Amino acid sequence: MAILVSDTSVLIDLERGSLLEALFQLPYQFAVPDLLYERELVGPFGETLKSLGLVVEELTPDEVSRATLVRRERATLSAPDTFAFALAEARTWALLTGDGELRNLATAEGVEFHGVLWLIDQFEAEATIAVEDLHAALTAISSHPRCRLPKAEIKKRLNRLAPGG
């Protein structure tokens, strides 16, 4: 089973769309680095994620060194983001991120990455959630003031997921 390393932004977007339970029904395993969990997810939200199947991975010393180097080279990235990148890169896992700078780094280093819209497509393809519920979820995600997803891609999916679409 493929393992996907998530950043916090993807998990928050999925929570906004009430898609967390559906996430763990997809044919993937989801992981976060321990530092990201401790700094950004610990508490009720993190416990919910772990109960659904989220795995918290401890980085090796080499992975921590890589994350530290990346942080020095790309100061705009947070430490949790660099840990997620280092984990995905070292273990040849894909990265789930909505962060543009993290996507740029993944592209530059040849690390596979996906985002929320890719997950929407996976939910649709795997039929893990009813189409009308998926439409409502994407509507909720995209209507949040902090949504940074591309409007044209959102519209395309909302049209496709709409009744009669």
Tell me how far CA of residue 27 lies from CA of 9, 11, 19, 59, 165, in angstroms.
21, 17, 15, 24, 26
If asked whether residues 41 and 89 sit together in one domain, one would say: yes
If asked whether residues 147 and 67 sit together in one domain, one would say: no
State the pLDDT at residue 72.
Answer: 96
CATH number at residue 80: 3.40.50.1010
If asked whether residues 112 and 124 sit together in one domain, one would say: no
State the pLDDT at residue 154.
Answer: 93
pLDDT < 70 regions, the chain: 165
Domain count, the chain: 2
If asked whether residues 109 and 127 sit together in one domain, one would say: no
State the pLDDT at residue 164.
Answer: 77
Enter the pTM of the model: 0.94
If asked whether residues 36 and 8 sit together in one domain, one would say: yes
If asked whether residues 133 and 72 sit together in one domain, one would say: no
**What is the rounded CA–CA span in Å between residue 126 and residue 80?**
30
The CA-based angle 119-102-78, given to 5 degrees, is 115
Going by the DSSP 8-state scheme, the letter that residue 85 receives in this structure is H
Domain region containing 130: 117-161
Tens-digit pLDDT profile for residues 4-43:
999 999 999 999 999 999 999 999 999 999 999 999 999 9
State the pLDDT at residue 165.
Answer: 67
If asked whether residues 93 and 109 sit together in one domain, one would say: yes
